[in-house]
Homo-oligomer: A and B are copies of this chain.
């Protein structure tokens, strides 16, 4: 699956991923109105609104991008009905041949991590039959429990030709509270980064590992250090746009081959129509605004990479 991701990045010339994190506030009134008319102001109605919103954005952007990253929390907040919308979104993205990074940030002790892994990346056995629960291509994983929390995910990835992005340095302001603590003079996130590089060696693609890392765009200097510690690790970079990261901050997340990083934008793309720059599209044409925001984001990152050469 890392091959497919890299092939699609090369083909689209877009090392970006669209974060499908649909807060109800982002969804234009006409979409919500239609869904609520059909299902009422219910969890089912919310699920329908999210799904229709996602579908329009996928239709409007899928030919420009290699991948999407649905954030499961935004669906899970609506309970089972929200997770039905999450699954519909995954299946639809798959039909458009997009790579799907499930932003699930799961992680537990061995047998429990194994259950998450089969549910999201693998197949679960029921009697003589087997089924795929959510069936993303990649999943994000929290490393706090150490190797025996991560290895069950890697085992399923090997079987299924799928991949992970493991949290190393997150984009939020207080990420440093634990992640930046010094251990023998070096921050914890570097230790986690080294471990990710080691885990990655057991499941290599051609040039890059199936086991990637998450490093926030908001910490470009740390990204530079981590790039060196994990040379064969693909880095998923959240925090572009709305969280403050800019194209020029991102150059050092990439390797000299122009690969090795994929930049996520969520709100900046899916709620583009709410920004001054794109408000002329109007809420009615929100998917066109998202398309333009994708084009502009690709240009910003491409420009920064060119200037950095």
The reply to whether B146 and A172 contact each other, CB–CB distance below 8 Å, is yes
Q: Does A142 contact B (CB under 8 A)?
A: yes
Q: Does A92 contact B (CB under 8 A)?
A: no
The reply to whether A46 and B126 contact each other, CB–CB distance below 8 Å, is yes
Give which listed residue, B46, B146, B171, B183, contacts A174 with CB less than 8 A. B146
Q: Does A241 contact B (CB under 8 A)?
A: no
Q: Does A206 contact B (CB under 8 A)?
A: no
The reply to whether B80 and A87 contact each other, CB–CB distance below 8 Å, is yes
Cβ contacts A to B, 10 pairs, < 8 Å: A24-B125, A42-B129, A43-B124, A71-B108, A74-B112, A76-B115, A76-B116, A142-B144, A146-B178, A178-B188
Q: Does A17 contact B (CB under 8 A)?
A: no
A183 to B184, CA, bound (A): 8
Q: Which residues of B contact A244 (CB under 8 A)?
A: none
The reply to whether A32 and B127 contact each other, CB–CB distance below 8 Å, is yes
The reply to whether B131 and A82 contact each other, CB–CB distance below 8 Å, is no
Given contacts A42-B129, A78-B119, A144-B142, contact A112 B21 (CB under 8 A): yes
Q: Does A222 contact B (CB under 8 A)?
A: no
Interface flags for A133-171 (1: CB within 8 Å of B; 0: not) read: 110000000111111110000000000000000010011
Q: Does A285 contact B (CB under 8 A)?
A: no
Q: Does A259 contact B (CB under 8 A)?
A: no
Number of interface residues of A (CB under 8 A): 73
The reply to whether B177 and A195 contact each other, CB–CB distance below 8 Å, is yes
Q: Does A179 contact B (CB under 8 A)?
A: yes
Q: Which residues of B contact A195 (CB under 8 A)?
A: 177
The 8 closest A-B pairs by CB, nearest first: A79-B133, A146-B177, A41-B127, A146-B174, A77-B119, A109-B172, A73-B115, A77-B115
Of the listed residues A110, A111, A120, the one surrounded by the most CB atoms of chain B closer than 10 A to its CB is A111
Q: Which residues of B contact A73 (CB under 8 A)?
A: 106, 108, 112-113, 115-116, 119
A174 to B113, CA, bound (A): 13
The reply to whether A170 and B109 contact each other, CB–CB distance below 8 Å, is yes
Q: Does A298 contact B (CB under 8 A)?
A: no
> Which residue from chain B places its CB closest to the CB of A87 in the assembled complex?
B80
Segment 1-60 of A: residues with Cβ below 8 Å from B:
21, 23-24, 32, 36, 41-43, 45-46
Of the listed residues A77, A78, A120, the one surrounded by the most CB atoms of chain B closer than 10 A to its CB is A77
Give which listed residue, B71, B129, B142, B182, contacts A107 with CB less than 8 A. B142
Given contacts A41-B129, A170-B109, contact A79 B87 (CB under 8 A): yes
The reply to whether A174 and B192 contact each other, CB–CB distance below 8 Å, is no
The reply to whether A174 and B188 contact each other, CB–CB distance below 8 Å, is no
> Which residue from chain B places its CB closest to the CB of A149 in the assembled complex?
B172
The reply to whether B133 and A76 contact each other, CB–CB distance below 8 Å, is yes
Q: Does A202 contact B (CB under 8 A)?
A: no
> Could you tell me the distance in whole angstroms from the C-beta of A26 to the nearest C-beta in chain B?
11
Of the listed residues A127, A148, A179, A195, the one surrounded by the most CB atoms of chain B closer than 10 A to its CB is A127
The reply to whether B188 and A170 contact each other, CB–CB distance below 8 Å, is no
